[in-house]
Amino acid sequence: MSRSTNDYDAIVVGAGPNGLAAAITLQQHGLQVLLLEAKDTIGGGTRTKQLTLPGFRHDVCSAIHPMLIMSPFFQQLQLKDYGLELIYPPVAAAHPFDDGSAAVLKGSVEDTAALLGADGPAYTRLVSSLVQHWQELGPDILGPLHFPRHPLQLAAFGLTALRSADAIVKRFRTRQARGLWAGMAAHSMLPFDYLSSAAIGTVLCTAGHVAGWPLVKGGSQGIADALAALFTAFGGDIETGVPIDDLSQLPSAKLVLLDVSPKQLVQIAGDRLSDNYVKKLSRYRYGPGVFKVDWALDGPIPFINEDCRHAGTVHIGNTYEEIAAAEAGTWMGQLSEKPFVLLAQQSLFDGTRAPQGQHTAWGYCHVPNGNTTDMTRIIENQVERFAPGFKERIIGRHVMNATAMETYNANYIGGDINGGAIDISQLFTRPVMSVSPYRTSAKGIYLCSASTPPGGGVHGMCGYHAAIRALKDIKVIH
């Protein structure tokens, strides 16, 4: 360790966005913090590597970051002073159809609604209030259950967000609006008839209008690097290549915060946890996994639709009905020949990602948890469907099945990048039903991963809230 073992007030295990957020928050409040990372580099879900060919930089997990700008934690930081540069594609997200048309998420509610024809007014009613009041409601939405500061406005959001995607789509008649909504709702990794499957879709549409869907110049690793630079500027210490298998390996400290999944929490701290708490953790449920492909390309993806050629994110899956069927099948343990594919094309807007004239692309589909079937052909067929000639531009590829995703990041149990299913029973009560989901049953030990509210995504709010809870418990703040 870089200091005497008695010099640390708090230790954070895991240097993903949530672990970094927890460490920064504790350090900001005057504690001396040690951040430990098992891998040789920090980052968790925000690492960038040359996965295919030399000179091609690929985001290993997260690629596009709407929740980064929406996050109250990130809003308080000046990360551009520490090297973070965000790039905003002219089209946040596009959703192509078989006839060559596409639905598009534009920067303003009005511009998006105008492209949805007869469904423009219904779309405006869906998102306009949340867009208008996000700054007030964001802290309540991106946190644990508590008495809200704006109860009436939050209740109005809840009446939409806690419903199923199927219930919301009944508001729309056009293929464009229904398809756009399907792509947003599919981020939930839930069947569309499940309660709360509308929550993530609503927030992602809102993000497109409040802040956009940016990517990071040079790769998502820039988020972790900027957070680490800020943390060390505050006086914190980081050590990499330090896997923790048992809490006995740690020096003594008032607080230990773990950016790990419930499964890992039991493995690392089981002997300090109560039997009842461990039993509750054993009932925690993980959702579908992902199969991911990174491509090195000799040119941009030749989408038929022009808007898709200018979009940072492309939702591939055609109609609402087709995507709904694929997502329901995944939940039931089935694979689809026509899955929903989430695709990002960062190099169109960031020249640092590939050699001049060449490009990268990033895409994944949902698969049953732990599934190891090779979905490369199926994913590439889906892209080719809307971009004839795509396959001819592939000069390199790197694939990761659901098991490989867990090997890359132990928090992704069975390839579940959301840190656990986010259905209605685990939306706010993750990992267990508790007054504070961040506390464990052991005094001084806290969970700060995506398996706590508000769940998956690069927003840092799980780490931030866990740190605030810990600071209150030791009466540093009230």
- 200-224 pLDDT per residue, tens: 999 999 999 999 999 999 999 999 9
pLDDT in tens, 385-400: 999 999 999 999 999 9
Does 454 score more than 90 pLDDT?
Answer: yes
What's the confidence (pLDDT) of residue 5?
54
What's the confidence (pLDDT) of residue 3?
53
Residue 74 falls inside a structural domain:
no
DSSP letter for 252, please: P
Residues 6+ apart with CB under 8 A from 152: none
Residue 374 falls inside a structural domain:
yes
pLDDT in tens, 81-134: 999 999 999 999 999 999 999 999 999 999 999 999 999 999 999 999 999 999
Query: In a 10 Å sphere around its CB, with 0-12 CB exposed, 13-18 middle and 19+ buried, how is residue 309 labelled?
Result: middle
Does 178 score more than 60 pLDDT?
Answer: yes
Answer for the pair 464, 472: CB distance below 8 angstroms, yes or no.
Answer: no
For residues 382 and 425, membership in a common domain is answered with no
What's the confidence (pLDDT) of residue 159?
86
What's the confidence (pLDDT) of residue 478?
78
Does 474 score more than 80 pLDDT?
Answer: yes
pLDDT > 90 in the chain, percent: 92
What's the confidence (pLDDT) of residue 151?
83
**Quick one: angle between helices 199-210 and 151-161, nearest 10?**
120
Does 381 score more than 50 pLDDT?
Answer: yes
For residues 389 and 315, membership in a common domain is answered with yes
Give the domain range for residue 169: 86-215+287-408
What's the confidence (pLDDT) of residue 153?
81
Q: Per the omega criterion (within 30 degrees of 0), is the bond before 431 cis?
A: yes
For residues 97 and 199, membership in a common domain is answered with yes
For residues 254 and 269, membership in a common domain is answered with yes
Residue 172 falls inside a structural domain:
yes
Contacts 24+ apart (CB under 8 A), 301-304: 301/343, 301/345, 301/359, 301/361, 301/383, 301/387, 301/390, 301/393, 302/387, 302/388, 302/389, 302/390, 302/393, 303/96, 303/386, 303/387, 304/96, 304/100, 304/386, 304/387, 304/388
Comparing 161 with 466, the larger pLDDT belongs to: 466
Residue 58 falls inside a structural domain:
no
For residues 309 and 246, membership in a common domain is answered with no
Residue written as tokens 């009932």?
283
For residues 208 and 165, membership in a common domain is answered with yes
pTM: 0.95
What's the confidence (pLDDT) of residue 1?
45
Does 465 score more than 80 pLDDT?
Answer: yes
For residues 301 and 360, membership in a common domain is answered with yes
Query: In a 10 Å sphere around its CB, with 0-12 CB exposed, 13-18 middle and 19+ buried, how is residue 346 labelled?
Result: buried
DSSP letter for 439, please: B
For residues 161 and 237, membership in a common domain is answered with no
In the chain, the number of structural domains is: 2
To which H or E segment does residue 34 belong? strand 33-37
Q: Of 408, 439, 454, which residue is a domain's last?
A: 408
Residue written as tokens 């419903």?
163
76/235 Cα distance (integer angstroms): 18
Mean pLDDT, to the nearest integer, of 421-438?
92
For residues 181 and 325, membership in a common domain is answered with yes
Does 443 score more than 80 pLDDT?
Answer: yes
For residue 199, what are its two tokens?
Answer: 């929550």
Mean pLDDT, to the nearest integer, of 418-432?
93
pLDDT in tens, 228-244: 999 999 999 999 999 99
For residues 345 and 441, membership in a common domain is answered with no
Look over the chain and give the mean of its residue pLDDT values, rounded to a whole number: 96
**CATH number of the domain where residue 246 is located:** 3.50.50.60
pLDDT in tens, 57-66: 999 999 999 9
For residues 199 and 320, membership in a common domain is answered with yes
What's the confidence (pLDDT) of residue 155?
86
**CATH number of the domain where residue 340 is located:** 3.90.660
Residue 5 falls inside a structural domain:
no
Q: Of 408, 429, 464, which residue is a domain's last?
A: 408
Mean pLDDT is lowest, of 86-100, 337-351, 383-397, 427-441, for 427-441
Residue 77 falls inside a structural domain:
no
Does 170 score more than 60 pLDDT?
Answer: yes
**Confidence band of 6 (pLDDT split at 50, 70, 90):** low
What's the confidence (pLDDT) of residue 150?
77
For residues 275 and 294, membership in a common domain is answered with no
Residue 133 falls inside a structural domain:
yes
The total of other beta-carbon atoms located within 10 Å of residue 269's CB is 23
Give the end-to-end CA distance of the chain in Å, rounded to a whole number: 31
What's the confidence (pLDDT) of residue 428?
85
Classified as helix, coil or strand, 450 is coil
Mean pLDDT, to the nearest integer, of 335-364?
98
77/256 Cα distance (integer angstroms): 24
Does 147 score more than 90 pLDDT?
Answer: no
What's the confidence (pLDDT) of residue 86?
98
Residue 61 falls inside a structural domain:
no
Q: Of 384, 408, 432, which residue is a domain's last?
A: 408
Query: In a 10 Å sphere around its CB, with 0-12 CB exposed, 13-18 middle and 19+ buried, how is residue 13 labelled?
Result: buried
